[in-house]
Amino acid sequence: MQIFLAGATGATGTELLPLARARGLTVRPHVRPQTAARHPLGKDPDAVVCDLGDAAALEAGVRGCGAIVSLVGTMRSRFGTGDTYESADVGSARQLVAAAVAAGVPRFLLLSSVGAGGAGAYLQMKGDCERIVREAPGLRWTVFQPSALVSAPDAAGHHGRRELLPGMMALGGLVRALPGLRGVADDWRAIPIAVLCEAILAVLERPRDGEVLLGRDLWALAGR
């Protein structure tokens, strides 16, 4: 199967892309023009280099794919670079869904967040993204709602740029040990990006259409 990977140059995309290719998927990574010059994926032979606002280029880029996976997102600290929740998260959901519908891409996998639709600008915006995907005519969708994403420690025990504080890990472990709270704890405990990627690949291989997958589902799909 061919997949179009939006957000390929981000933290999750950087881990997902080589894993997907190793599984035999043909991946077209999306790269923004302003990122292409400084990122190795700018030279990837299968990369689709375009602005997501370029509807014709995007439609051509997704045509023939069996699924679009969107890992696109921004954060408040990056608003200064020009991206906002509306332009990056919500805008990309609209643009990618429109391209999927126009090009007949049957499936859409959206990386959202636990608590989407809840209080606060970030969670409200994630709820809007989910609604855009769920309401697209004829599109088969799956939404992923992980908690905080962390990088696994390397062989020397060093984490990547997203280390979880030891105190938070200990607290999560305690809550998880309480009777009846394991599922809830798994929904809210931080999740290594590698675990999330395994879950996404599992869903690409065995579709979970129309489902919103919580942390407990992601851990299970990854076989952890």
Residue ranges in contact with ligand NAP by CB under 6 A: 7-13, 32, 35, 52, 71-74, 83, 87-89, 92, 111, 113, 146, 148-149
Q: Which residue number, 146 or 202, has a Cβ lying nearer to ligand NAP?
A: 146
CA-CA distance, 94 to 92, in Å (whole number)?
Answer: 5
User: Taking the complex as a whole, how short is the minimal distance between the CB of residue 223 and ligand NAP, in angstroms?
Assistant: 21
| Tokens at 50, concatenated | 């375009």
Q: Is there a contact between 214 and 187 (Cβ–Cβ < 8 Å)?
A: yes
Q: Which residue number, 3 or 111, has a Cβ lying nearer to ligand NAP?
A: 111
Q: Which residue number, 8 or 67, has a Cβ lying nearer to ligand NAP?
A: 8
Q: Which residue number, 148 or 177, has a Cβ lying nearer to ligand NAP?
A: 148
Q: Which residue number, 2 or 87, has a Cβ lying nearer to ligand NAP?
A: 87
Number of residue whose CB is nearest ligand NAP: 10
Q: Which residue number, 125 or 136, has a Cβ lying nearer to ligand NAP?
A: 125
SS (H, E, C) the chain: CEEEEECCCCHHHHHHHHHHHHCCCEEEEEECHHHHCCCHHHHCCCCEECCCCCHHHHHHHHCCCCEEEECCCCCHHHHHHCCCHHHHHHHHHHHHHHHHHHHCCCEEEEECCCCCCCCCHHHHHHHHHHHHHHCCCCCEEEEEECCCEECCCCCCCCCCCCCCCHHHHHHHHHHHHCCCCHHHHHHHCCEEHHHHHHHHHHHHHCCCCCEEEEHHHHHHHCCC
Within a 13 Å sphere around the CA of 170, how many CA atoms are in the beta-carbon half? Answer: 3
Q: Which residue number, 129 or 202, has a Cβ lying nearer to ligand NAP?
A: 129
Within a 13 Å sphere around the CA of 205, how many CA atoms are in the beta-carbon half? Answer: 14
User: Taking the complex as a whole, how short is the minimal distance between the CB of residue 75 and ligand NAP, in angstroms?
Assistant: 7
User: Taking the complex as a whole, how short is the minimal distance between the CB of residue 67 and ligand NAP, in angstroms?
Assistant: 17
User: Taking the complex as a whole, how short is the minimal distance between the CB of residue 115 and ligand NAP, in angstroms?
Assistant: 9
User: Taking the complex as a whole, how short is the minimal distance between the CB of residue 63 and ligand NAP, in angstroms?
Assistant: 18
User: Taking the complex as a whole, how short is the minimal distance between the CB of residue 179 and ligand NAP, in angstroms?
Assistant: 28
